[in-house]
Amino acid sequence: MTTIDVRRADDRTFQRIDGIHSRFSFAFAGNFDLAAGAHGTLMVHNDDEIDSLMGVDPHTHTDAEIVTWVLNGRVEHADSAGHTGEISAGWIQRISAGKGIRHTERNPDPANKLHVLQMWAAPDTAGVEPEYAQTDLNDELASGELVTALSGLPGEDPGIGLHNRWTALDIARPRPGAVLDVKVAPFHHVFLARGSARVHIDAAEADSPVDLHPGDALRLTDAPAFQVEAIGEEPVEFLVWRMHAHF
């Protein structure tokens, strides 16, 4: 049976500390069991605005696949494994924390805010060597089609892998009126970053379609198929996690 869970932007919890304004699609701030609150293999989906020259001080992660997607601005990364990098809008970054990595993320721009999504997926193997990767997806996204940004699924090779063979992330910037088919999986998490979209769910029990606006999220379980339609004239951008396992 298909289950549909719509999480509206205004219902998210939020936190503002030291120049960072965060909105949480999953329980995050405080002492929470991230695995217990997960959907599929996705544990964290934070929507962060970071003031100029501000950021997160050095801190440690273990056994998490940490994915950062930039909506506006630039983010500067440095970690204890010697990796450094700077990414901007349309770039994606993946840190495999593995057995432990210490890092910082900062907004290096002296005048403009940084707007990023940070997402954590569980690895399927604990204690791997820490890794860092980043890539520019702007040219691929210009097609208007769904682009697989990263994946650990067998047979998928988008350029950035993931230490979870059950999980992939797709991103799209569809043209107005376009309808995109999403690949089938037992668990999906759809997040609308910009514009307006309509999700058509091919299930008898579904209250479909579901309209989404910026900051809205849709969690689906056992959807046989669904499509995302770009509605309105504003640019649309959305992310879909496809997951074939759950904690």
- For the CA atoms of 187, 45, 62, 106, what is the dihedral angle to 10 degrees? 150
Mean pLDDT (the chain, rounded): 94
CATH number of 3-243: 2.60.120.10
59 labelled binding-site residue: yes
200 labelled binding-site residue: no
Which residues are paired to 135 by β-bridges?
92
103 labelled binding-site residue: yes
The model's pTM: 0.95
DSSP state of 9: G
- What percentage of the chain exceeds 70 in pLDDT? 97
* Res 32 pLDDT > 90: no
* Res 203 pLDDT > 90: no
Domain boundaries, the chain: 3-243
The C-alpha atoms of residue 218 and residue 191 are separated, in whole angstroms, by 7
Angle at 22 between CA 133 and CA 55, to 5 degrees: 55
61 labelled binding-site residue: yes
pLDDT (mean) for 118-139: 96
**Is residue 86 within 8 Å of 77, Cβ to Cβ?**
yes
